Amino acid sequence: MILRRLIFGVILTCVATASVQADDITSAVKTLQSVEPGGKGTSAAREAAEVLSTAGDKALLPVLQGFEGADLLAANWLRNSFEQIVDGIRDSGRKLPAAELEAFIRDQKQSAVARRLAYESLKIQTPEIEARLIPDCLLDASPEFRRDAVAMLIAQASAATEASVSTPLYRKAMQGAVHEDQVKTIAEALRKNGEEVDIRKHFGFISQWYVAGPFDNKDEKGFAVPYAPETEASISKGADFAAEYDGQLGKVQWQPLASEDDYGVIDIAKQLENHKGSLMYARTTWTSRGDQQVQIRLGTPNSWKLWVNGTLVFEREEYHRSSQMDQYSVPVTLKAGENFLLLKVCQNEMTQDWAQRYQFQVRICDGTGSAVLPLTSTASNDSQPGVSR
């Protein structure tokens, strides 16, 4: 009797699946992609999800492909639909189409979120996929897959008893490492083995700046005040570093300030002075190999504004927030040749110990977090950023 019910259930599932056409699946995916915040389109999305849940195997790839370009809300609907389809396949005693899903996972042009979702689902059914697929992901377009590949190499290197064996493995791992904790682990091991490691270069931190200030930020009014460094014509071209401005305490000029910190931190409070109720301008020139899309990632506990080639690209008026690497990520387009970055960093008048940090760190990278190096950088280590031989 139980067997008969199971067979009958499988038959019903097959009939329902067969009745869902390719056009129905395409339409349902588009409906999920177009759902809007505030409940708009929710009813239609529920109906679309129901259609997909009964479509079986043939809806898996269209749903995964639908992640490309989907916003967070749409991605959640697509994820739920994918998981419902997977559950339905497993409940019927069938297996996921492994070959098709693995091909999708290997396609780096697809959504990183969708690829990961497919991988985690397939790994439950086929655990050996990890050993087969992850070693090829060292330079993957997805930071998550890169992390897995780097972790494998770190494990192999840490298990080696000879530096002659572990060092090449750590060097290889560094090529794909984009996460701070993994880079720290690798750098520590390489340095222990007598290797030089340039973490600043590996992450693409900008360590050479010119700064001008302090300018007045009493009562936090300076954030909105366009002082001369952000209004002069040179904001969109090379600065006149001999220019003199009326500052908070008198005349100020641009002065060079460099970071020797592994993570490119420019510490205004320690390297200059922690002027309370002040703001500083910092600027630098970054030479691009060509027109390219990059991310400018910044960490600071202070309020700040960022201009690229004279255009304000981001601002955040918030003081004494916890600071960390890649705290903010700003997508920008750099032009071929020289690009001019201007940063405004504001400190308020709070005197508590936790409110004294006056610093910033800036790096330029691609979407994976891999450094994008300027044209003026030494090219000898480009194939293996962060490791000097």
CA distances from 259 to 188, 208, 369 (A): 20, 7, 21
Query: Comparing C-alpha atoms, which of 288, 366, 291, 303 is closest to residue 329?
Result: 366
CA distances from 200 to 205, 206, 337, 361 (A): 5, 8, 22, 10
pLDDT, tens digit, for every residue of 146-157? Answer: 999 999 999 999
Paired tokens of 281:
């301008």
C-alpha to C-alpha distance for 136 and 380, rounded to whole angstroms: 24
pLDDT, tens digit, for every residue of 193-220? Answer: 999 999 999 999 999 999 999 999 999 9
C-alpha to C-alpha distance for 174 and 164, rounded to whole angstroms: 16
SS3 state at 180: helix
Q: Where are the domains of the chain?
A: 2-127, 143-197, 203-365
C-alpha to C-alpha distance for 205 and 63, rounded to whole angstroms: 38
C-alpha to C-alpha distance for 304 and 358, rounded to whole angstroms: 11
Residue 230 half-sphere exposure toward CB, CA atoms < 13 A: 23
pLDDT, tens digit only, all 389 positions of the chain: 444 444 434 433 444 444 668 899 999 999 999 998 887 889 999 999 999 999 989 999 999 999 999 999 999 999 999 999 999 999 999 999 999 999 999 999 999 999 999 999 999 999 999 999 999 999 999 999 999 999 999 999 999 999 999 999 999 999 999 999 999 999 999 999 999 999 999 999 999 999 999 999 999 999 999 999 998 767 777 778 889 999 999 999 999 999 999 999 999 999 999 999 999 999 999 999 999 999 999 999 999 999 999 999 999 999 998 889 999 999 999 999 999 999 999 999 998 887 899 999 999 999 999 999 999 743 333 333 444 32
C-alpha to C-alpha distance for 92 and 86, rounded to whole angstroms: 10
pLDDT, tens digit, for every residue of 355-374? Answer: 899 999 999 999 999 999 99
DSSP symbols for 89-118: HHHTT----HHHHHHHHH-TTS-HHHHHHH
Question: Is the overall model pTM greater than 0.85, yes or no?
Answer: yes
212 φ, ψ to 5°? -135, 135
**Domain 203-365 adopts which CATH fold?**
Jelly Rolls (2.60.120)
DSSP 8-state secondary structure symbol assigned to residue 247? -
Paired tokens of 273:
């002075």
SS3 state at 281: strand
Q: Are 23 and 31 in contact (CB under 8 A)?
A: no
